[in-house]
Amino acid sequence: MFYCVAMGDDEKTMAETQGVWSVPEHRRRGRGAVANVAARFEPYAVERVDDGWDTGAEVDQPMLRTEVAEERPRTIITRNASPDLGFDRSVNAYRGCEHGCIYCFARPSHAYLGLSPGLDFETRLTAKPEAPQRLAAELRKRGYTPAALAMGTNTDPYQPIEKRYRITRGLLEVLAAHRHPVGIVTKGSLIERDLDILGEMASEGLARVGVSLTTLDPIVSRAMEPRVPAPKRRLQMIERLAKAGVPVRVMVSPVVPGLTDHELEAVMEAAQQAGAGSAGYILLRLPREVAPMFEAWLGEHFPGRAVRVMSKMRQMRGGADYDGTWGKRMVGQGAHAELLARRFQITAKRLGLATKMPRLRCDLFRVPPEQGDQLDLFG
């Protein structure tokens, strides 16, 4: 049985730092989170209470299925001014991500929808089918100045529902028509479907791709990223992108101290052999509701390592679960963080991997004519 409990300031703090209620394993098979934590803006938390009347009821509850709602936004380009990022604009075709990566720093964004950053984030998704049309309209605006557009910054543009919705491909078709530069970060092998567009854009210096590869261990990967292609499959993605002429960067992201950090050099070497030309890494980030969910996940999947992982994580975050300070949030601080950075630099130099990718071209941008447009007299 469940009870709704009103949350004051103290209870909201607890909801942000502890799992509120777990979901039986048979209902969340193939999912990353083990619980649905209360969203930080909600006035109530849900608690499971055994009152003796519902014995056996959980067994009859169905497995969680993916639900997709549709959104029609007025604008599609999101702007940012973060000094930690190499871009100032991005496009996200979806909200939430079926990949279910337990460590995803974007999970807290689901709270703005009144949904849990836990299982809701990976089962209750939102698609934006009109995103390509909105993007075309924004690129046509008078005074628009082109710069590299990022895709995959909040949720993966090649998560499983893209196969049905094809929104990401539609966005790429718009960008190709406008000869607009784009950078993509993904774990999804569905990107290979769009090699025809990406290969042509890359030949003009308009496209590049980052492939996130967290571990080479398929067991760890399956637990941590339940609906993501296996590490071996992602190495094939890198190879096929590289053969198509698309510059590929391996993103060792996130690096989980005490769980995957020992693989840093091996991941970079495997990616370099597959065709990656550059590399980057990001330390595990545990903002807001992600910290209690990740700790609960550790307790279920890697109980023998849980204390060590969280201890090392806090040593690299100034004693806290997370420090979102610019300049620190991606790489951490302290002796362990400095050692990790040094290992990365030495390995990148040894393998000939660049730490920065070539700048994308912005000088080719054009607005393709539409029916009814006045033709350029001198074009």
Q: Domain extents for the chain?
A: 69-351
Q: What is the pLDDT along the chain (379 residues), one digit of tens a residue?
A: 433 444 444 433 333 434 445 677 667 777 878 877 777 776 666 655 555 665 555 556 777 888 999 999 999 999 988 887 888 899 999 999 999 999 999 999 998 888 889 899 999 999 999 999 999 999 999 999 999 999 998 899 999 999 999 999 999 999 999 999 999 999 999 999 999 999 999 999 999 999 999 999 999 999 999 999 999 999 999 999 999 999 999 999 999 999 999 999 999 999 999 999 999 999 999 999 999 999 999 999 999 999 999 999 999 999 999 999 988 999 999 999 999 999 999 999 999 999 988 899 999 999 998 765 655 555 4
Q: Given this model, what pLDDT does residue 53 score? A: 62
Which residues are registered as beta bridge partners of 48? 2
By the 8 A CB rule, do 281 and 252 touch?
yes
Q: Does domain 69-351 have CATH number 3.80.30.30?
A: yes
95: phi then psi, degrees, rounded to nearest 5: -115, 140
pTM assigned to the model: 0.88
Burial of 336 (0-12, 13-18, 19+ CB in 10 A): middle
CB atoms within 10 A of CB 205: 16
Q: Which amino acid is at 273?
A: Q
Three-state DSSP at 244 gives coil
By the 8 A CB rule, do 211 and 268 touch?
no
Residues 6+ apart with CB under 8 A from 376: none
Q: Which amino acid is at 35?
A: A
| Alpha-carbon span 60 to 27, nearest angstrom | 10
Q: Given this model, what pLDDT does residue 305 score? A: 95
Q: Which amino acid is at 174?
A: V
Burial of 32 (0-12, 13-18, 19+ CB in 10 A): buried
By the 8 A CB rule, do 249 and 277 touch?
yes
Whose CA is closest to 350, among 282, 273, 283? 273
